[in-house]
C-alpha cells in the first residue's frame, strides 16, 4: 500500500514539474522549453517549432539583448512571459542571448 503511494507521489511530483511552475523559479532553459519552444524551434536539440514564422533559438541569439527584452516585456512576445518569476526571466534572457551581445 505504502509502496504504491510513494510511486504515485513520485509520479505526481515529476508530472507537475512543468505545469505548477508559473510563479516558481525555473531554469532559463526550462522556461524556454515550456513557454517558447511550442513555437520557436530549439536548433540545438531540434525540439519545438510549431510556428514557422517564429525565429529559431539560434536566430534570437543573434539579436541584441535590448530588442529581445523589449519584445518580451512590451512587444509582441509579452503575453508569453506573463506571470514569470523575475529570476526566471533573467535566466531566460541569459539562455536566449549570450552575455556579450550589446
Ligand atoms: C504562439 C507562438 C509563440 C510563442 C509561444 C512564443 N513566440 Fe516568440 N514569436 C512568435 C512569432 C510568430 C514571431 C515572429 C513574429 C513576431 O515578431 O510577432 C516571434 C518573434 C519573437 C522574437 C523576435 C521579436 C523581434 O523583435 O523580431 C523573439 C525575441 C521571441 N519571439 C521570443 C520569444 C520567447 C522568449 C518566447 C517564450 C517566452 C516566445 N517568443 C514565445 C511566436 C511565438
pLDDT of residue 93: 96
For ligand 1, atom 43, which residue shows the shortest CA distance?
A: 39
How far is 11 from 4, CA to CA, in rounded Å?
11
pLDDT top residue among 7 and 90: 90
Is the pTM higher than 0.85?
no
Whether residue 16 is contained in a domain is answered as no
Q: How far is the CA of 55 from the centre of ligand 1 (A)?
A: 7
Whether residue 43 is contained in a domain is answered as yes
Q: How far is the CA of 93 from the centre of ligand 1 (A)?
A: 13
How far is 14 from 58, CA to CA, in rounded Å?
29
Tell whether ligand 1 has an atom less than 6 A from the beta carbon of residue 35: yes
Tens-digit pLDDT profile for residues 28-85 = 999 999 999 999 987 777 777 889 899 999 999 999 999 999 999 999 999 999 999 9
Whether residue 11 is contained in a domain is answered as no
Structural domain boundaries, residue 52: 26-96
Q: How far is the CA of 90 from the centre of ligand 1 (A)?
A: 17
Ligand 1: nearest atom to the Cα of 36 = 37
Whether residue 71 is contained in a domain is answered as yes
pLDDT of residue 50: 84
Tell whether ligand 1 has an atom less than 6 A from the beta carbon of residue 41: no
The residues near 98 (Cβ < 8 Å, ≥ 6 apart) are 61
Whether residue 17 is contained in a domain is answered as no
**What's the domain count of the chain?**
1
Report which of 42, 67, 46, 71 is spatially closest to residue 56, judged by C-alpha positions. Answer: 42
Amino acid at each position: 500500500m505504502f509502496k504504491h503511494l510513494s510511486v504515485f507521489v513520485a509520479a505526481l511530483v515529476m508530472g507537475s514539474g512543468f505545469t505548477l511552475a508559473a510563479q516558481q523559479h525555473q531554469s532559463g532553459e526550462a522556461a524556454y522549453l515550456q513557454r517558447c519552444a511550442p513555437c520557436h524551434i530549439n536548433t540545438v536539440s531540434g525540439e519545438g517549432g510549431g510556428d514557422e514564422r517564429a525565429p529559431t533559438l539560434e536566430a534570437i541569439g543573434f539579436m541584441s539583448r535590448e530588442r529581445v527584452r523589449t519584445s518580451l516585456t512590451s512587444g509582441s512576445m509579452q503575453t508569453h512571459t506573463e506571470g514569470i518569476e523575475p529570476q526566471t526571466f533573467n535566466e531566460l534572457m541569459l539562455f536566449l542571448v549570450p552575455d556579450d551581445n550589446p
